[in-house]
Amino acid sequence: MALRESRRVEATCIDYIVTAAAERGGVLTAVSGAVASYNTSIGTRPSGILPVGILMEDIEAQNYLTHPQRYQRNVSDLGSVVGVMTKGEVWTDFIDGYAKPHIHAGKAAYLTHSGLITVYDFAPGVVGSLIEQGTSGIQIGRFLSDIDSDGFAKVRIDL
């Protein structure tokens, strides 16, 4: 999964660190203090979820003893401060598979249980999903395009 080069970043945040491997393009949520990660508990406690933005760089475990740091790719080490886009437009393929046939320009974009983006205001495929609890999902923005042939969609993020 990835982000395309074509993007418009209006606001970023560098207040969070990521302590696990992660790919750019997913929606990070605040875990505790300054630590952020992809969410895995939206189906069980949606009221405690705070999306902070789209991750703009890859997070990997770097081994500086055997390999030098590569600056050609936008990669940070585990535990590093990361760039998070809080407002802007991106082309991403971090999209829930259930939602791909239903994505069209103008539809609201919601956070899923795993950091993906969907058109549903609940988490499909999750036991005890939000629709059964009668709780609406967390809107993070709006889709600006349909899914293209490569599986990417343009999303307007406003957090």
Q: Give pLDDT tens digits for 9-59.
A: 999 988 888 888 888 888 888 776 656 655 544 444 445 567 888 888 888
- Share the mean pLDDT of the chain: 77
Cα separation, 62 vs 66, whole angstroms: 9
Query: What pLDDT, on a 0 to 100 scale, did the predictor assign at position 88?
Result: 95
Q: Are 17 and 89 spatial neighbours (Cβ–Cβ below 8 Å)?
A: no
Give all strands (DSSP E) within the chain, no chain letters: 3-18, 27-32, 35-38, 51-55, 58-60, 75-77, 80-92, 108-111, 117-118, 139-143, 153-158
Q: Are 4 and 75 spatial neighbours (Cβ–Cβ below 8 Å)?
A: no
pTM of the model: 0.77
Three-class HEC string of 51-94:
EEEEECCEEECCCCCCCCCCCCCCEEECCEEEEEEEEEEEEECC
Q: Are 84 and 36 spatial neighbours (Cβ–Cβ below 8 Å)?
A: yes
Cα separation, 28 vs 117, whole angstroms: 11
